[in-house]
Structure 1
């Protein structure tokens, strides 16, 4: 029999129980997560309770939390409730993770690091506890979790594949939560059918008159809570409590509960209101707060009538409502005056809990109060330090509402909007800025407001006017002496130059202002602005400074912007190097949003170098983290990079699927760089598959200014593919004009990618009398860090020599090209080199697939780290996975590679180095 607090029994819930039962039964092998979704009163709590019972019977330990609406602003309150029984296992965590989780949960005064480090610590904390017994984590009313706790649980839920843990969260349909669209399996709990509804009603209220019975069945419309509660309401106060009409069922139930409250003694009603407005379930607190309201001292016995009316339960030291609708009904029927009095009582009582106290005090306040605003601002700072960004936003917004000083009000709104940006909430940012626009802001505050407005879309889909406005504001900020703000504004303008096509004049204006700022010439932010705004015109300056920084590691600082700048000017080798430095920094800090961007940069650069061992796992992780951190354009960028990699590997079907996915996302916002790379990926795939005419069609779009796929920088990096497609497909004439244009571009910028591509193109297009010298010139270039580009020259040169009837001369170059392609894993080019060798008269061995080709991208990444000597814990910390998950992956990897130990990994992954 279910505990009475679970109002909806399990009649008619056999299908849902089968799903949850199967998940609980398999918990030892990795239970995964399920979001149980349904409207209020549909029986989600009963299903969770039954899952708990089954898990406990199977030997699992159950950790439970029930979120309440009043605690949504208390950072990590839900997580603390869930994991506090296993916090002793924190001693087994690595020091940074232990410090992070203890700070987040208020066990130490240290500032909590990034939320994702707290999330990783939570995952490993639970994994440690699960080594003693499988865990079932149950969170009821999860839509009311504080945002930080909810984000941590979504992170954990996505990583339970190999953990002996299951997670069940119940959310109410129609109430927004972090679990919406999180990509987790869902179990929809619907209304009962007629037979099940009748059986439930008859089991709970067998003596109803037929007319009442029919009315309850009609009114409840299959809601289990209504089938249980409406008969009680009708029995206690008459048939009129459930009016026939258009009211939603939840409102009818609230009316029924409110009517039940009205029949209670005054002292009990007052206690109910205090309990309803409490942000906890501590009985002593409720009684103490009620005592401050005056009148007769309250006792536990005064709750008796409410318990008998089945509105709440008193168990030991806790008092709790049987259903959230009962709590809201109590608040609903109380006037604003009594509610403020109760909040004031709690504010007077909670002197040792500053965060809870300030929210109660805020609810009791009616007008401006600068002292309260300052307390709320301090609460926002505490929430931010603990990683509770959403709680900090709420506190700052409320502080602005009660601010007596107009300028402080505007500053608080701006700070709230800046934090709301971190949440990925454009609606919240827009609302805060709209409110702030009516405030008395200083010119500098209005400049900050413009910068915040432009941050969300990275300039995607924005009109060129956005770049003009930001550049003007940057110039104004620079004149005021705020170079940092000017750089932020120029970064927004530069992104618009990258994602849209604002014209040469606008690009020049961004460059002019950036070059005039009083900042270090090597500043990565400045270099990124120049590269994104005018990668060709500023190419020489950017490449020169980046090369200096590459040889002076102590000057690196933040390498992420430098990596992006290197990418845009075609210095892919530098981009990959700077990315590696930045990725290590970002992993250590737990900054997953920036990590996703930097991984995408690394993957894109490594893909153009043909370094699949780096690019494949980086692109896969970039895509995964971009989804987790709500960056749709970064996700599309990662996916189209994966399409490029699929073309290099010869996986045509997967490549087209990835290209199509990225194209759909890019078309919605006219993201030119993504559309250009889609054309590049499709062209490269067609070229590798022996379809040069089709390849030329795709690639030529990148060079047509009227085409949405045209991009002035990215077209420079596909010239080798375009010319090869043209030569092999019979389009020599048209492509010569494109090459001539790019020759002009090459006189402006030293872009390594452009110059390497042009050297290759010149040799392909040359007459036989000139070709050999041009091939030799291409091979004399420094391509040590560009192995794919060098091997392509060798392949083309060897093929030309063979066609000149110089078979003996061709074989060495063809053999070298094939060995490089084999090592890189670029299978179509490897096959072409073998075909050319065979045609030259050489007997060749059949290509043996590399062992690493059997691995998934994530498995390859884990195998590479393990081969480098990292422990499972160290790999887990870098990839935001538990060490148990790493161990499980390695157990899958070893058989695929034909090995039985970590010691053999390096040889298996790099046999040519053995």
Structure 2
């Protein structure tokens, strides 16, 4: 039994008690279809008989009764149909009248007469009526309703009642979430709930969270059988109106429904108002919706698949003709299953995909394009495949070659074929098949040259870039007769050729180790000039800009690229930019930021390329290994190498040279000097076979230090001097400073002091804080050995402060030990107070003091909220304050300015 609530049940009890005491009473129970009116009426009959009362039923006409719900009227209830004016028999009588809206005029008049007669004994009339349905004779219906003394409304079931019912029907205690899902789907309607639960019981579904959603469609055929539009009094056209609302909602406005069913607007409006009064529909703005959700599913389930396709097709056409938003039209197009979509429909889906990409929803864009591909049989197919391939290029590179290869097969336009070949080559390069990528470009150049000079130029530049990055030394030189590449001008090839020429020209200068300024200028132009579908080489100009010493410009470009990638859902593009940003942070001594960006990049790259080695993998792992070594976490660095599969042979490609050198350094630090030196020598062999720039991998300086410790002084001097010569030729302050420090380690006396002093001076003018701290520490040791204690201690203290700010634990430990050796009394200013804050902690603290929330700080700095919380906790500890409200933004901001403007002078350069 399904009981609709305490209030109506109490009203029935009150009426029966009144009759038992000899009085007269009447009660009208009102509710929507399936609310439990008949159930409550039958319960009233059972209770009345239990109280010794006579029970009779005022019937509806035979044809109404036969066409109504599958009857559950009691066979032991006496029919009551007295002629007007005939006195009732003596005794206490309960008259039941179910569904007043179904009664004919004569029965309604009889009921009205009964409700007003007072010439007989105790009589109670209990009747039911559906909301908003006035029957065939509204006047007689309203007259009868007005004579009832009491009226009670049957309301939807509560969540607790739904849970109790589900437990009883399914035989298991249901979860709270399950009850809430049932309530949402059925609106608390007892009849709909019973049909849904019976279907779930038959299917053996357990009452746990999430088990209702997909099964509501399974229950709807039974629900469709009891919908009021299938009963008498509803014209067949009304069913068409309901079907149209189910198809169109939430855009089921009167005019659109009328056009869809091809009926008069006024008649449709009247029908919708009638259904609204019956609470079969609800209003949503200017439109109508079926309510609750399971009713809409019921209506759609009763329609044939062809009828649904036809309805959605016509709805899409009408909305498109009215100029509705593409997403509104696409909502119908996505539900069409038959093939043969018109070109305008394909355009709508492609427009929706573009909008989804702009919102950063790559999965939604893919859904639109996939449906267009499934349905399209016309000329749009090549365009859809190309767009799917480009979308996959930034997120699922393994899927991109299939789409782009098929797009190439369908496409006849020479210009578009050249564009598709460029994207296809990028996807193959990312998947690790450099040979196939090269062949695609070579074939494209041969194909395009006769008719598409610009396309051929673009493919030729991409081919040169791929072969360069693959490690072929001969490809870095400008192509014969191709002066535009050397000049760095875009040339005749449009945007793609122009970008390729710029990147190749910048890369040529970089590998030759000269024209640092021109290399940076060309790289910056390539970043501004380059289209976003060149995913495989997107990081190259970013890296060139950073390695030219233009860290600020490179960092801005990385942030812009990350923002654009996130907006488009291009996770691989984002990972590429994060990898470069990790290298920039490592060079600047921002070790925490380096670790965060590198880990984020590696997590994506390893997930998307489980068996491949994209170039950015080498860049990110190189930076992460270096940062972990500085932090004294060599074992963690080793674990990351294991995870990336880089403990065996490292790919012989330019992007991995730095990682090979870094692994050599790691092995030496972990005690395996021979293996470490072997890695450094192998890195040198690979780099000597072609052009060289010391910023790509500092193998000479690291090998010089290892060889010197092993007693190979002459070789160490040669290595260090060559590195210094090349660094001076390139001209980046960071590289010169690092090379000076390495060369100082293999000389002695005044020369050693001079080189270290120069290294400190050069590095002080750069952003390389950890390198600067190393040089300060080395200089402090030399000064101590020369007996210049005061100068020594000032350099060592400066090195310690810098190291602790950067999180360089190994260097901080060395500086501390050297200070103790020099006889200094350690001042623990580096452990408490504003001076103890790292650069990352200062930034977070300043932003928090200025009123930003943790979420806003995390978004602006591109870190997790957990990282922000960790930094703030350390700030509170070091400043000995209770929380955010005690932060002094002025003091913290002043410290940031001091670090930027006066830090080098304050710490001393030697």
> Partners in 1 of 2:555 and 2:545 — Cα distance?
17
Do structure 1's residue 288 and structure 2's residue 262 form an aligned pair?
A: no
Contact kept in structure 1, 2:848 and 2:857, CA below 8 Å: yes
Do structure 1's residue 577 and structure 2's residue 556 form an aligned pair?
A: no
Report what 2:632 is aligned to. 652
Match of 1:539 among 508, 513, 527: 513
> Partners in 2 of 1:807 and 1:665 — Cα distance?
48
- Alpha-carbon deviation of 1:359? 6.0
Q: How many residues align?
A: 689
- 2:410 is paired with a residue whose SS is coil
- 1:574 is paired with a residue whose SS is coil
Q: In the TM superposition, what whole-angstrom CA distance separates every residue of 1:76-116 from its partner, at most 9, and x where no partner exists?
A: xxxxxxxxxxxxxxxxxxxxxxxxxxxxxxxxxxxxxxxxx
Match of 1:723 among 672, 691, 704: 704
Contact kept in structure 2, 1:490 and 1:514, CA below 8 Å: no
TM-score (norm 1): 0.56
Contact kept in structure 2, 1:341 and 1:364, CA below 8 Å: no
Q: CA RMSD, aligned part only?
A: 6.6
> Partners in 1 of 2:163 and 2:356 — Cα distance?
46
Indicate how the Cα distance of structure 1 residues 793 and 466 shifts in structure 2: closer, same or farther if over 3 A, else same.
same
Contact kept in structure 1, 2:506 and 2:519, CA below 8 Å: no
TM-score (norm 2): 0.56
Do structure 1's residue 704 and structure 2's residue 667 form an aligned pair?
A: no
Report what 2:879 is aligned to. 897
Q: In the TM superposition, what whole-angstrom CA distance separates every residue of 1:435-458 from its partner, at most 9, and x where no partner exists?
A: 424413333323322322344586
Report what 1:128 is aligned to. none
> Partners in 1 of 2:443 and 2:482 — Cα distance?
9
Report what 1:601 is aligned to. 580
> Partners in 2 of 1:832 and 1:263 — Cα distance?
83
Do structure 1's residue 444 and structure 2's residue 431 form an aligned pair?
A: no
Report what 2:745 is aligned to. 764
> Partners in 2 of 1:3 and 1:231 — Cα distance?
8
**How do 1:76-95 and structure 2 match up within 5 A?**
none
> Partners in 2 of 1:456 and 1:895 — Cα distance?
49
Indicate how the Cα distance of structure 1 residues 787 and 877 shifts in structure 2: closer, same or farther if over 3 A, else same.
closer
Match of 2:385 among 406, 410, 413: 413
Contact kept in structure 2, 1:288 and 1:349, CA below 8 Å: no
- Alpha-carbon deviation of 1:664? 1.7
Q: In the TM superposition, what whole-angstrom CA distance separates every residue of 1:487-510 from its partner, at most 9, and x where no partner exists?
A: 588558746754xx5443555688
Structure 2's unaligned 5+ residue stretches are 5-160, 206-210, 231-235, 492-497, 881-885
Contact kept in structure 1, 2:196 and 2:216, CA below 8 Å: no
> Partners in 2 of 1:663 and 1:724 — Cα distance?
26
Match of 1:258 among 216, 221, 225: 221
- Alpha-carbon deviation of 1:829? 2.7
> Partners in 2 of 1:821 and 1:241 — Cα distance?
69
> Partners in 2 of 1:871 and 1:242 — Cα distance?
49
> Partners in 2 of 1:468 and 1:800 — Cα distance?
57
Report what 1:504 is aligned to. 473
- Alpha-carbon deviation of 1:340? 0.9
Report what 2:801 is aligned to. 822
Report what 1:155 is aligned to. none
- Alpha-carbon deviation of 1:574? 1.8
**Pair member with larger Rg:** 2
Match of 1:203 among 155, 165, 184: 165
> Partners in 1 of 2:197 and 2:347 — Cα distance?
51
> Partners in 2 of 1:328 and 1:726 — Cα distance?
80
**How do 1:217-616 and structure 2 match up within 5 A?**
254-261=217-224, 265=230, 270-271=240-241, 273-278=243-248, 280=250, 282=252, 284=254, 287-288=257-258, 291-292=261-262, 314=282, 318-320=288-290, 322=292, 327=297, 330-331=300-301, 334-337=304-307, 339-345=309-315, 347-348=317-318, 351-355=322-326, 356-357=328-329, 360=332, 363=336, 367=340, 369-373=342-346, 406=379, 409-421=381-393, 424-426=395-397, 429-430=400-401, 432-455=403-426, 459=430, 461-467=432-438, 469-470=440-441, 473=444, 490=461, 494=465, 498=469, 501-505=470-474, 516=485, 519-520=488-489, 526-529=501-504, 537-541=511-515, 543-546=516-519, 572=547, 574-582=549-557, 597-598=576-577, 600-608=579-587, 611-612=588-589, 614=590, 616=592
Structure 1's unaligned 5+ residue stretches are 5-198
Contact kept in structure 2, 1:321 and 1:327, CA below 8 Å: no
Contact kept in structure 1, 2:579 and 2:620, CA below 8 Å: yes
> Partners in 2 of 1:734 and 1:3 — Cα distance?
95
Match of 1:620 among 566, 583, 596: 596
> Partners in 2 of 1:864 and 1:726 — Cα distance?
46
Match of 2:787 among 780, 784, 807: 807
Indicate how the Cα distance of structure 1 residues 784 and 396 shifts in structure 2: closer, same or farther if over 3 A, else same.
same
- 1:319 is paired with a residue whose SS is strand
Q: Which has the higher contact order (CA 8 A, sep 6+)?
A: 1
Q: In the TM superposition, what whole-angstrom CA distance separates every residue of 1:417-468 from its partner, at most 9, and x where no partner exists?
A: 334545x244664554354244133333233223223445863633344345
> Partners in 2 of 1:867 and 1:721 — Cα distance?
43
Contact kept in structure 1, 2:389 and 2:404, CA below 8 Å: yes
> Partners in 2 of 1:510 and 1:641 — Cα distance?
33
Contact kept in structure 2, 1:380 and 1:396, CA below 8 Å: yes
> Partners in 1 of 2:190 and 2:781 — Cα distance?
88
Indicate how the Cα distance of structure 1 residues 762 and 670 shifts in structure 2: closer, same or farther if over 3 A, else same.
closer
Report what 1:141 is aligned to. none
Contact kept in structure 2, 1:383 and 1:392, CA below 8 Å: yes
Q: In the TM superposition, what whole-angstrom CA distance separates every residue of 1:657-686 from its partner, at most 9, and x where no partner exists?
A: 366346524659977788766666676678
